[in-house]
């Protein structure tokens, strides 16, 4: 009778070893599948970011004229002299974001074209004061001008 019990222990050790190998192999497959998905996502994100950086490097814009009226309405003329079209996304006056656009925001501007941007200044404009105006495109390109009112 003791021989039968001894034989069962031998079989259970083999079965447990096989189960352990199966569990480790399954865990390896799961980790491999997860890592392939993560690496593909990272590669795709990197490719999109590289494309955006390349497009941003082809953008060239210049603020060629700034004027204002007494109601704190600022007017900018921006020239696109880069290799690709642009759309103005944001304007900052002395670091303060412009929220009240009248015209020009989001307007597609082809290469060599001008866009007029009109907005209510987020800061009070005083005659003789100097203001830093930053125009930012949808891709993140920017133009900066120090303007004296």
Taking alpha carbons only, the member of 144, 140, 136, 87 closest to residue 111 is 87
**pLDDT one-digit tens code per residue, 25-45:** 999 999 999 988 888 888 888
The CATH class of 59-148 is mainly beta
Pick the more confident residue, 104 or 37.
Answer: 104
- Model pTM? 0.70
Integer Cα distance of 41 and 111 in angstroms: 34
The CA distance from 149 to 67, in Å, is 8
142 sits in which H/E element: strand 142-148
**pLDDT tens for each residue of 58-72:** 999 999 999 988 678
Local confidence band at 8 (pLDDT 50, 70, 90 cut-offs): low
Tokens of 24: 């480790």
The domain locations on the chain are: 1-58, 59-148
Helix locations, the chain, DSSP H: 2-58
The mean pLDDT value of the chain amounts to 89
Between CA 87 and CA 98 the distance in angstroms is: 16
Contacts of 95 (CB under 8 A, 6+ apart): 132
> What pLDDT does 108 receive?
95
- Neighbouring CB atoms inside 10 A of 95's CB total 9
Look at residues 126, 15, 142 and name the one whose alpha carbon lies nearest to residue 80: 142
């Amino acid at each position: 009778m003791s021989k039968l019990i001894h034989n069962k222990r031998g079989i259970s050790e083999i079965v447990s070893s096989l189960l352990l190998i199966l569990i480790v192999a399954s865990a390896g497959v799961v980790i491999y599948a997860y890592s392939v998905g993560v690496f593909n996502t990272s590669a795709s994100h990197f490719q999109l970011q590289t494309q955006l950086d390349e497009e941003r490097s082809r953008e060239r814009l210049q603020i060629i004229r700034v004027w204002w009226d007494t109601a704190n309405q600022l007017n900018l003329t921006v020239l696109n002299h880069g290799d690709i079209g642009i759309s103005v996304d944001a304007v900052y006056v002395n670091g303060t974001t412009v929220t009240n656009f009248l015209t020009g925001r989001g307007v597609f501007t082809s290469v060599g074209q001008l866009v007029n941007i009109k907005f209510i200044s987020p800061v009070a404009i005083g005659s003789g004061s100097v203001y830093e105006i930053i125009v930012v495109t949808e891709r993140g390109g920017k133009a900066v001008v120090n303007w004296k009112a």
